[in-house]
């Protein structure tokens, strides 16, 4: 007979199938077992759809469910949202035992789902493979634990520490790295740049994945420089929303396309900008801006991890990459060849 851990690993594998489709909801998987046999697995497939528990339970008969055990990577919800509470579904189904990986950090759930199941007389075990379960939803967890957006700083630079030729759009890395960046964006709810990058590069900031909820394109434009550049593609492209964060009141009076939203900044602090994004429910930010934006994020202690693409070339004089105000030793470092370039990942904060 397999162990609880093996059954939970099946639930974890199911959860990973969701990819980025759950958007602001966590990735969750479940596995239902009776008499030592796996009867069904399920997962939360997309935002607004069945939760993992309902997806699994819907595949079985009342007889199969009676006196069974369900393994869930995240604590079952106990409130009404896009879907009714999973705790009540589990109770009504006749399941006798629930094994939970991670306690949900969302204040609407934390501990309440587990308490509801126990109050109904079910046996509940918690914390099984909790670390692995939490890794499924690092952005979600950080957001609900801190109230801040999880920030990844991404940069592409040459061997002489350059980001671009001064004032000119410059391709630093090769096609393979470009493709990888487009894939990475899909794992975040916002892509952040500064006004200088928007003006020089005229980027679209899209992802290669076909998502119902693509990441919002966010431009930090304190002075309102983009008012002189309303022909940028970020204003005309309708494949994702564009948000402008600015201190310039003239922007608030500007007639904008439907997909463009303007947010007023009360001050020039980068922490204020990230707080605005968090207040809008943005759980994760992929910061692709230039050196000034990156240095501001680092200095404010807002960066969770860093992704650097290093190209095997010397650019000569140009725009230098970000310089941290103090020494930072990255953890969990991973180095990978991507085409001719090298991708370096490192974590600054533990989640």
Give the Cα separation of 286 and 77 in Å (integer): 29
Average pLDDT over residues 174-187: 97
Q: Which residue, among 298, 245, 296, 249, has the nearest Cα to 270 in the 3D structure?
A: 296
pLDDT value of position 173: 95
If you count DSSP H runs as helices and E runs as strands, how many of each does the chain have, helices first? 13, 16
* Total residues belonging to the chain: 351
Determine the Cα–Cα distance for residues 15 and 25; give it in Å rounded to an integer: 12
- Residue with more model confidence, 328 or 230: 230
The Cα–Cα gap between 183 and 209 comes to 7
Annotated active-site positions, please? 53
pLDDT(82) > 70: no
Nearest to 178 by CA among 338, 335, 334: 338
Residue among 61, 60, 71, 58 nearest 13 (CA): 71
- Non-local CB neighbours of 193 within 8 Å, separated by 6+ positions: 203, 205, 217, 218, 219, 220, 287, 288, 289, 290, 293
Quick check: 193 pLDDT over 90? yes
Per cent of the chain over pLDDT 70 is 99
8 A C-beta contact, residue 249 and residue 264: yes
Instruction: Find, among 246, 272, 288, the residue nearest to 151 by Cα.
Output: 288
The whole-model pTM stands at 0.95
The pLDDT assigned to 165 comes to 84
Each residue of 229-286: pLDDT tens digit?
A: 999 999 999 999 999 999 999 998 999 999 999 999 999 899 999 999 999 999 999 9
The confidence score (pLDDT) of residue 79 equals 73
Cα torsion 20, 23, 24, 29: sign: negative
């Amino acid at each position: 007979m397999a162990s609880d851990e093996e059954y939970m690993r099946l639930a974890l594998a199911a959860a990973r199938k969701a990819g980025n489709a759950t958007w602001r909801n966590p990735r969750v998987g479940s596995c239902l077992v009776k008499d030592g046999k796996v009867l069904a697995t399920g997962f939360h497939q997309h935002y607004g759809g069945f939760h993992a528990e309902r997806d699994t339970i819907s595949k079985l008969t009342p007889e199969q469910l009676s006196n069974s055990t369900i393994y869930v990577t995240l604590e079952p919800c106990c409130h009404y949202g896009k879907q009714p509470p999973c705790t009540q579904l589990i109770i009504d189904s006749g399941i006798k035992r629930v094994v939970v990986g991670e306690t949900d950090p969302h204040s609407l759930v934390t501990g309440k789902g587990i308490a509801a199941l126990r109050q109904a007389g079910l046996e509940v075990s918690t914390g099984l493979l909790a670390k692995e379960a939490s890794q499924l939803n690092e952005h979600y967890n950080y957001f609900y634990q801190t109230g801040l957006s999880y920030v990844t700083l991404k940069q592409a630079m040459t061997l002489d520490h350059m980001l671009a030729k001064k004032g000119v759009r410059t391709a630093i890395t090769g096609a393979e790295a470009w493709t990888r960046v487009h894939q990475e964006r899909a794992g975040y709810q916002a892509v952040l740049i500064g006004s200088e990058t928007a003006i020089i590069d005229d980027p679209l900031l899209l992802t290669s994945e076909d998502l119902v909820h693509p990441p919002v394109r966010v431009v930090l434009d304190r002075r309102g420089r983009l008012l002189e550049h309303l022909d940028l593609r970020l204003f005309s492209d309708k494949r994702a929303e564009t948000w402008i964060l600015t201190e310039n009141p003239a922007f608030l009076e500007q007639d904008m396309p439907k997909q463009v939203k303007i947010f007023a900044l009360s001050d020039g602090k980068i922490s204020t900008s990230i707080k605005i994004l968090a207040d809008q429910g943005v759980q994760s930010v992929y910061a692709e801006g230039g050196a000034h934006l990156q240095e501001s994020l680092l200095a404010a202690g807002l960066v969770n991890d860093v992704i650097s693409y290093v190209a095997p070339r010397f650019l000569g004089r140009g725009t230098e990459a970000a310089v941290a105000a103090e020494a930072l030793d990255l953890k969990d470092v991973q180095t990978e060849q991507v085409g001719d370039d090298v991708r370096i990942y490192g974590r600054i904060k533990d989640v």
